Amino acid sequence: MMAAANATAVAVAVAVANACPGPMKATSNGSWQGDNPLDYALPLAILQICLVVALTRTLAFLLRPLRQPRVIAEIIGGILLGPSALGRSSRFLETVFPKQSLTVLDTLANVGLLFFLFLVGLELDLRALRRTGRQALAIALAGISLPFALGIGTSFVLRATISQGVREGPFLVFMGVALSITAFPVLARILAELKLLTTDLGRMAMSAAAVNDIAAWILLALAIALSGSGSPLVSLWVLLSAAAFVALVALAVRPVLAWMARRSPDGEPVKETYICATLAAVLAAGFATDTIGIHALFGAFVVGVVIPKDGPFAAVLTEKVEDLISGLLLPLYFASSGLKTNVATIRGGQSWGLLVLVIATACLGKVGGTVLVSLALKVPAHEAVTLGFLMNTKGLVELIVLNIGKDRKVLNDETFAILVLMALFTTFITTPLVTAVYKPARRAASGRKHHRTVQRCNEDADGAELRVLACFHGSRNIPAIINLVESSRGMRRRGLTVYAMHLMELSERSSAISMVHKARRNGLPFWNKRRSDEGGDQLVVAFQAYGQLSNVSVRPMTAISDLHTIHEDVVTSAQQKRAALIVLPFHKLQRLDGAMETLGGDYQHVNQRVLRHAPCSVAVLVDRGLGGAAQVSASEVSCTVAVLFFGGCDDREALSYGARMAEHPGIALTVVRFIPPPGRSNLLEDGSNGSVGIGVDADDQAADEAFLAEFRAKPAAAANESIKYEEVAVGSRAEIVAAVKAVRRFNLFVVGQSPACMSLTDRSDTPELGPVGSYLASSEFSTTASVVVIKQYDPTAAAAAAAETSTAVEDVADQYDVPDTPVATDRSRH
């Protein structure tokens, strides 16, 4: 009997062990020792992270042409890893996501989520929230109240069908919150992607979404408090404790954070002690709110909200945290959510009908409530509908609500799957619907004079102001751009206005969106209105200093867009600012050894798209140390410039630019004209003798002769000893190359993009520079001479380029009539 009892006890113990496997050890002894790494927590967690990141990034790449935010790819990736797709294989689940590993996975995911909510709080500026206008406030309240009410109504249908037996109070509140949320971070990225963030519509949407975000967190705290297993009195204590926690953070923690922010001035590194203390405070706040009973995420979010947004402190915190959290840990939360989502539970006509009902209710509540209030506030109908679609954006916060509801047994598997699919669908349709609906009316053509080429500016009898849009990617572009601008200022009555545009890639990082949030309303793209001592764009400081020391009007701007669409910002700004010339940095930078190092093909494509769509002339600057580290001196000749003239409209534009540069007292200009040898009108390719290249039609040839005669007849050119004119007869490619090499002593070469000349190199990877520019930019020619390649604006070619594209970029340029960007040196307006 005793033996039988022992056998039974052993059998029960084995059964329990099989049903409830013990915790995994952290590390293995290695496969050579006979251990399977997937049976240990650390190697398995590494595999899970790599798999999740690889899958979500692949999906994000595939969805990129549809302009979808990355959260869509992450939600879909999580669902694919779960029991809805790959997880249908029990072998896959037991190998990659065994039950005993889910605690470690969920812990890592929630740590990532904790710090991500801290970043979300950092993005939210309470001062901007207090400045929210009545319109945005009314739209936000309508966008919360109507869907919340419809969510409560839908909850009765669900409780009568697939959610029988759940507690009524918490379920009503969770359904209301789930349908009324607007994802603030996701909305910001969609608006930035669609270039609507700095429009009136975008600002209204962001203000309303910020109010909605705060209200959603308050409602979620209420839902969590009500979902506890205790009495209503316990729920009341939870809410009062949460309110006391918020007051404590605002009154005690915020002053300490403000003190650390004040002791972190611009230009100096933030102390490691401050960073560590702040991150520890985030964890401590998470512990406190989890102890209270309203989830650790609330504490992290509140700490992020109260951190001062001025100065570098918040930016440095974001920089320290965002890549690790957003890149590696946060995707685990989507995987964790996907493992709980089983789309297969939605089966039968009733379940699919309920899915349609939930989606319709969510869209009707959000879109309908927003549209009705917007129309009542005299918002145009198409803008009201667009605003409704934008406010219907869901995202990570929605998943947080649903996962908390599932963990607290408020939502069952089927209801959870329905609500996840609702969030995915409503966010996925936002971008295409907004693109289809929102088509702003074009403004009437301006009556202001607008010269689109340097040549026309020079020919203007009134001494027209030359407006230049000078673009730069980073600090390495700035010295050459400033020196080129200084060389171009001329001595004319109206002088030169430069719009210095910092081109920044819009990433999924929180820091990129934070920069976007801080943009102001003047211009599309926007300019930075903050004072430089309030953490402004450090790269425009050089332009501001140059503007103060020169007679050039410098107006700094910033464009933050995806590299695939940032050319639209450049083109739009050039149209708005009535620029005659766009200056672009070459996509290669010179290394110390003289070789050219590429920044990547995306930057080259930006230049090519601008050249194709630009509403004015375009110059590409190949910098090889133009002017050194200081600007060109106005008191002595310190820069020698050569214009290589073969013929054609681009060469005439290049010579016009060179002539303007020659007005500067520090510039010596030499014009080298390449002509056919005596006895021939032009040189065309002749395979028998190797002759190549200078061939122009009769009209262009006549225009060249008239332009050169006018240039040489001008008093400035005739009397100025710093302007020289040479003619060189060439009869073959070798002679052209030899003649060009003979004048390599100059600091700067200015050439046309499409001169009447064949290629001077056997192979080139820079077609945007043209046949001569590609040779001048090659290491075969020089390692010290900088090059400016100019393409003159051609209205016929620009119209053809716009007609060939599905989205005519030039149409965008006339959508907004805004005041001019303020001058950088006018401190009273910053």
Of 800 and 257, more confident:
257
| pLDDT at res. 115 | 94
Look at 275-279, 585-589, 641-645, 683-687 and tell me which has the smallest mean pLDDT: 683-687
* CATH T-level topology, domain 454-829: Rossmann fold (3.40.50)
Closest C-alpha among 503, 518, 507, 520 to residue 198 = 520
pLDDT of residue 827: 39
More confident residue, 318 or 1: 318
Q: Tokens 């603030």 sit at which residue?
A: 184
What pLDDT digit, counting tens, does each position of 367-426 carry?
A: 999 999 999 988 888 889 999 999 998 888 888 889 998 988 889 999 999 999 999 999
At residue 22, the pLDDT reads 67
Residue with tokens 């540069």: 661
| pLDDT tier for residue 214 given thresholds of 50, 70 and 90 | confident
Tokens 């009568």 belong to 160
**pLDDT class of 816 with cuts at 50, 70, 90:** very low
Burial label for 521, CB within 10 Å (0-12, 13-18, 19+), is middle
Tell me which H or E stretch contains 624. none
Q: How high is the pLDDT of residue 527?
A: 40
Burial 506-517 (b: 16+ CB within 10 A, else e): bbbbbbbbbbbb
Contacts of 160 (CB under 8 A, 6+ apart): none
Average pLDDT over residues 200-225: 83
Domain boundaries, the chain: 46-437, 454-829
* pLDDT value, residue 800: 63
Task: Write out pLDDT tens, residues 770-812.
Answer: 888 888 888 777 767 889 999 998 877 666 665 555 443 434 3
Residue range 125-134: average pLDDT?
A: 72
Is residue 356 very low, low, confident or very high in pLDDT (cuts 50, 70, 90)? very high
Q: What is the pLDDT of residue 170?
A: 85
Convert the pLDDT of each residue in 309-349 to its tens digit: 877 888 889 888 888 898 899 999 999 999 999 998 998 88
Share of the chain above pLDDT 90, in %: 29
Out of 155-164, 208-217, 240-249, 527-536, least confident range? 527-536
Does the pLDDT of residue 524 top 50, yes or no? no
Residue 507 confidence (pLDDT) above 50? yes
- How sure is the predictor about 609, in pLDDT bands with cuts at 50, 70 and 90? very high
Mean of pLDDT over the chain: 80
Q: Residue 807: its pLDDT value, please?
A: 43
Which of 281-290, 372-381, 457-466 is predicted with the least confidence, judged by mean pLDDT?
457-466
pLDDT tens for 709-756 read: 888 777 555 555 678 888 888 877 788 888 888 887 888 899 998 876
Q: What is the pLDDT of residue 688?
A: 44
Closest CA to 314 of 259, 255, 261, 253: 261
Structure tokens at 706: 């008239």
**Predicted structure pTM score:** 0.76
Q: What's the pLDDT score for residue 445?
A: 41
Region of residue 167 (left: phi > 0; alpha: psi -120 to 50; beta: else): beta
If one looks up domain 46-437 in CATH, what number appears?
1.20.1530.20
Secondary structure of 379-434 in HEC code, one letter for each residue: CCHHHHHHHHHHHCCCCHHHHHHHHHHHHCCCCCHHHHHHHHHHHHHHHHCHHHHH
